[in-house]
A and B are shown apart, each in its own frame.
Chain A
Amino acid sequence: MRALTFPYVRHGGLFLPIIPVTLLSQSLVFRTDAYVDSGAFYSIFRAEILDSLQLRKEQGQVKMLRAADGKLIRSHLFRLPLQIGTVKLRALVAFSDQLHVGFNLLGRHTVFSSFDEVAFNERARNVVFRLAD
């Protein structure tokens, strides 16, 4: 069993499950941070990142997603190679400029399911991704 452990990021009295993620396109690679959101089905990244990957919105599948406040937001879905720690996976990632949360969000679809367990340890203040060998 492998376990990737990410300490929470502290902001005042708040501790946030923000982890580093590597994103790849055909020619470019870069790293960013994402908030691990077990309440989100899709991973939703900021649209500006598409430009950084030199991908055009039109290349993705248009998808209307319902946000927590009930509003529909327009997004573009891409299946991209993504790396969390040392684990590489192909994830379905939505990009949108209408989600005003200030974070990239790492949702459950194709990300959580790539691991055997994703555990939020509130006392230890870390999030652990477990994967059987």
Chain B
Amino acid sequence: MRSEARTIKPKKTVGSRRSRQRPEAVRDADHQYFASHFTRLVRKHGGQWIVLVDANLIGIANKNRLASLIKKARAEYPDRIPFIAPIPTKDEIECVL
């Protein structure tokens, strides 16, 4: 008895617009440093500011000492762009969520 069942071959799929997009994972050494140390920074330095250049820690300080840290970063690495970011406190993270 001949089987009526037939195997249906899946249609060839052409890459969707989204799968054709060029992936561009963004690499940033300072952001990587900030992200990988984030929990420790929040725990120990929440409320302060961090200044980095090429993943080198220039310093962590309160906002009244931020200007001197930036000056130090620009003096030590005159050709590089410094990374300056506030470190949130644990409460502030919960607040924004």
Contacts and interface: CB of A to CB of B under 8 A. Distances in A.
A31 interface: yes
A52 B21 CA distance: 36
A10 B47 contact: no
Interface stretch (A16-24, A57-65, A73-81, A88-96): A16-24
Interface string B26-62: 1010110011001100100011010000000000000
> Which of A9, A32, A86, A104 counts the most B-chain CB atoms under 10 A from its CB?
A32
A83 to B, nearest CB: 10
A1 B84 contact: no
A58 B66 CA distance: 21
By CB atoms of chain A within 10 A, which of B18, B83, B86 has the most? B86
Interface string A19-48: 110100000011111010100000000101
B54 to A, nearest CB: 11
A110 interface: no
Given A11-B93, A31-B28, A102-B89, A52 B22 contact: no
A111 to B, nearest CB: 15
Contact of A31 (B24, B30, B96): B30
Interface in B59-97: 63, 66-67, 70, 81-89, 92-93, 95-97
Given A1-B17, A19-B31, A22-B81, 20 more contacts: A3-B24, A5-B24, A5-B26, A7-B35, A19-B26, A20-B26, A20-B31, A30-B81, A31-B81, A31-B83, A32-B85, A35-B96, A48-B63, A48-B66, A48-B86, A51-B67, A52-B84, A101-B88, A103-B96, A105-B96
9 contacts: A5-B24, A9-B38, A19-B26, A19-B31, A20-B31, A48-B49, A48-B86, A103-B92, A103-B96
Interface of A: 1-7, 9-12, 14, 16, 18-20, 22, 29-33, 35, 37, 46, 48-49, 51-52, 85-86, 100-105, 130
